[in-house]
Amino acid sequence: MQLLMGMPGVRELTEENRGLAICEHCGAAYAVRILEDGQIHPIGRDTCSCGSDDFRLLE
């Protein structure tokens, strides 16, 4: 098992991975959380206002 964070003793994410993503469907931008498994979730909502849950991260 490989620890990507490299912080011994820290088993819980103290800092969430956050970023900006845009909806693939309508292009709306949202602040998002990036989960450990790579899923992208807009903060405070489940889907875009257009109903899409397909987001692309902005760097």
Enumerate binding residues for Zn ion (CB under 5 A).
Answer: 23, 25-26, 28, 48, 50, 52
- Nearer to Zn ion by Cβ, of 5 and 43: the residue is 43
How do beta strands 40-42 and 55-58 pair? Answer: unpaired
Q: What's the closest the beta carbon of residue 38 comes to Zn ion, in angstroms?
A: 20
Q: What's the closest the beta carbon of residue 36 comes to Zn ion, in angstroms?
A: 24
- Nearer to Zn ion by Cβ, of 21 and 23: the residue is 23
How far are the Cα atoms of 2, 6, 7, 30 from residue 40, in angstroms, in the given order?
22, 23, 23, 10
The HSE-up count of residue 47 (CA atoms within 13 Å, CB side) is: 8
Q: What's the closest the beta carbon of residue 52 comes to Zn ion, in angstroms?
A: 4
Two tokens at 50? 């257009």
